[in-house]
Amino acid sequence: MKAYHELDVVAAAQAIRAGDVTAEALAEALLARTLAHADLNAFTALDADQVRQAARAADRARQAGAVLGALHGVPVALKDNINTTALPTTAGTPALRQHRPKRNAPVAQALFDAGAILFGKTGMHELAFGITSNNGAFGAIRNPYDSSRIPGGSSGGSGAVVGARLVPASLGSDTGGSVRVPAAFCGAFGFRPSLLRWSQDGIVPISTTRDTAGPLARRAADLALIDSVVTGETPVSVPASLKGLRVGVPRTYFWEDIDSETWRLCEAALATMKEAGAVLIEADLPDVQALDEAVGFSVALYEVHRDLDRYLEKEGLNIRFADIVAGAASPDVKGILGSVLDPATAVPEAIYREARDTHRPRLIEAYRSYFAAGIDVMAFPTTPLPAPPLGEDETITLNGRAVPTFITVVRNTGPSSNAGIPGVSIPVGLTAAGLPVGLELDGPAGRDRDLLACALALDTLLPPLPAPSR
């Protein structure tokens, strides 16, 4: 049997169910590994005694012959913007440091109902407004493959704990790439479901038009299992046949200005798909950049004020958006959210409505037409480059030029987020410097199961990503 920390979700659940591994032994091994990797700063909250008690209870239930859920005894981490009663939900911001929700978020409760153990809450970019996870209140989270680099964001801790083998899976949230980017940077699989496939309730929001939770794990089958637990559907277990699969390759925009090592590894993955019988079709998505820019910030920066206030009121908290902004500890987050409160810089309602009601439907239609033309999935590098160094919050270097950090990293993940379609980032290898690279597959809205089946197929074709050397 593999070392405990190398067990993926499916393998761990099967081993616990069969009695080959106890939940307590698995939990103890992961707690010890987490302590040894404390320098990653990946958790904001972890109660080892709670974990041990839950693991022992799981073992007693199995021994007593109880009906076991699909995730019985499996430790899972949750991003610190997903409500849990057992641990605080801070969204990485000082004003919510003592926030103890009265109810678990539905996505969290679904995991617990299936027997999963809450291992801890993972760190994040403050209020999910960034991709470096360099948090002014809780400190910078580090990449498990190179601690001098970022893990991505905003679900940086969720990516780091999976990549470092501290837990077999975690949940993050994704508004513009915040599950898929950390997955790509940390060597994990990351899945963004179609908008509203997963409940938005009980998650500290940015934008109801764009937000969704999603899982990160080390195998595609783990994503499929977790998705089935949350949605109540039968798990996708049969890989798609790649023979005849029509794969759209949008060279314009998505494949432009890509780091050479990222390009090499993603091209190799496409070649592997072609050898397995997939049909690669060079097809661009018209006007994607203009449509994405017309939707993204206008929607998010308008809705965050409204949606965060609704969350705070529903939680029974006596603070509001302005209080959150006043206490923000990360300069980038304080600056961008401060602009929302300034009438001179806030997004006007007319611009927001035009973005939501005119430009977003055009973007959705562009994707619908793309897939309706006979393309099954779209493939492109999840990010234009591997994980940048820590501290490069404003600009990073791409192909010898200084470029804006945020908009560069989410360039490829943003459009499908705004359109609400499903996407999955698949680890395709390590660069010469030992950094993970992800290839994203996007599919038509509502075709999440087909997309997960494609991820299963690629997972069987591509060699497993080596674990971090540390």
Catalytic, 154? Answer yes
Catalytic, 121? Answer no
Q: Please tell me whether the peptide bond between 154 and the residue prior to it is cis, using omega within 30 degrees of 0.
A: yes
DSSP code of residue 131? S
- Which residues, in sequence order, are bridge partners of residue 140? 134
CB 40 within 8 A of CB 141: yes
Concatenating the DSSP letter of every residue in 303-317 gives: HHHHHHHHHHHHTT-
Catalytic, 334? Answer no
Point out the catalytic residue in the list 154, 170, 207, 417.
154
Is the backbone of residue 152 left (phi > 0), alpha (psi -120 to 50) or beta? left
Concatenating the DSSP letter of every residue in 69-131 gives: PTTTT-EEEEETTB--SSS---TT-GGGTT---SS--HHHHHHHHTT-EEEEEEP-SGGG--S
Say how far apart CA 389 and CA 41 lie, in whole Å: 16
Provide the 10 A C-beta neighbour count for residue 366: 17
Provide the 10 A C-beta neighbour count for residue 319: 16
Point out the catalytic residue in the list 155, 158, 173, 178.
178
Point out the catalytic residue in the list 79, 298, 416, 417.
79
- Exposure pattern of 380-389 as b/e (b: 16+ CB <10 Å)? bbbbbbbbbe
How would you classify the pairing of strands 401-404 and 395-398? antiparallel
SS3 at position 68 = coil
The set of catalytic residues is: 79, 154, 178
